[in-house]
Amino acid sequence: MDLEKERPRRRHGQELEDAILDAAWSQLAETGYAGLTFEGVAERANTSRPVIYRRWRDRDELASAAITRFFARQSVPELPDTGSLRSDLLELMRRANDNRAAMIPLLVTVISSYHAETGHSFAELRERAFGERSRNSISEIFDRAVARGEVDPKRLTPRVRDVAFDLFRHDLLMTLRPLSEANMVAIIDEVVLPLVR
């Protein structure tokens, strides 16, 4: 028997870290934060507990890294440029609805168990994963609308810039379902556009 063929190839660096974080995410998705163990993750990732402990001091750090990585791997939808603020916001919301709505029930389960034990919020995890990326997308849409003369720049406070997707996330989290076209249109037409014009 050839022992070299049976021995698993050793992984290093990013490849090993990815395997560990994938294993941690899988365990979080199946058992919640309460069921996350270094032993279980090591077994799933085909590595050892000391290897994991060298990278993350405790369960909180490991869970945070796995959740943040999951968020970060979700692409920010491509930025539309339709020529109007209303159409740009609506198209971006449709893309986010298509890309992200299906994962919301799972995220709520994972993050609620994580929050219950650590106190870390959805907003903190989202900020770690996306940072400026999502804010810059919305800002670019509004900046183009200002340049076209569609928007009064004095009305574009940070809260006003964020309100469309704050309401979008609220509806997703409250219903655990994709938003209907009518609800997305209502957010834009009844809330955002009156605030910026």
Q: What is the mean pLDDT of residues 71-87?
A: 83
The runs of H, that is alpha helices, within the chain are 3-6, 13-31, 38-45, 49-55, 59-73, 85-100, 104-118, 122-130, 132-148, 158-175, 181-186, 193-196
Q: Residues 160, 195: contact at Cβ < 8 Å?
A: yes
Q: The domain 77-196: what is its CATH number?
A: 1.10.357.10
pLDDT digits (tens, 9 = 90+) for 92-131: 999 989 887 777 777 777 878 888 888 888 777 777 766 6
CA distances from 136 to 81, 82, 161 (A): 14, 17, 10
CA–CA gap between residue 60 and residue 74 (Å, rounded):
22
pLDDT for res 12: 73
pTM reported for the whole predicted model: 0.69
Looking at domain 8-70, its CATH architecture is Orthogonal Bundle (1.10)
Q: Residues 21, 65: contact at Cβ < 8 Å?
A: yes
Residue ranges of the domains in the chain? 8-70, 77-196
pLDDT for res 18: 92
Residue 75: pLDDT band with limits 50, 70, 90: low
Q: What is the mean pLDDT of residues 62-66?
A: 90
In terms of Cβ atoms closer than 10 Å to its own Cβ (0-12, 13-18, 19+), residue 161 is: buried
